[in-house]
Homo-oligomer: A and B are copies of this chain.
């Protein structure tokens, strides 16, 4: 039962919960996370929670300072741009390093994502779009059997996920939704053709375009 041990599963649960809150801006940059308050909320002592915060600090999402508190980090535009550069390259590598053969199951998943995107077109919603984008990202990384590549991609994703949400008030939500759905459509078509590399290239191209859009609206 090592995989379902209480300690490990609880750690994963708390880590995922806090990471999501940070990336969805429920905890905007600058928010102080109180160990005691969070421990009380999750029904544990501070000890297991401190380990979660330590990992979030390793991941660059918070910073703990003795005597001050644990504070959600701010997103540095310059560093985020560099991180996006790397994410773009890794997205392309998903198609080249140990790609998973495209199965009917994978095609069905892509179709489901496309359907979900189309629904969002009629009823644009910032948070729903962000959440669908997060789910779709995980789907994208699942297309390689290279475990290290998956892990690095996800680590970088969570580090940059917030920047889109912080910029989105200045972006056009309907337009962003439309662009995302077109990515889903391109990706779906590539997978229908059983061309994993093409699917990865679609992703790579859209990350490039996303970088350009963010740069435009930053200036």
Contact = CB atoms under 8 A, between A and B. Distances in A.
Given A89-B97, A97-B89, A98-B85, A79 B5 contact: no
A78 to B, nearest CB: 10
Interface in A141-164: 145-149, 152, 155-156, 159
A148 B82 contact: yes
A5 B97 contact: no
Interface string A52-79: 0011001000000110000000000001
Interface of A: 2, 5, 7, 51, 54-55, 58, 65-66, 79, 82-83, 85-86, 89, 93, 97-98, 145-149, 152, 155-156, 159
Given A152-B152, A152-B156, 15 more contacts: A5-B65, A5-B66, A51-B51, A51-B54, A54-B54, A82-B145, A82-B147, A85-B97, A85-B98, A85-B146, A86-B146, A86-B148, A86-B152, A148-B156, A152-B155
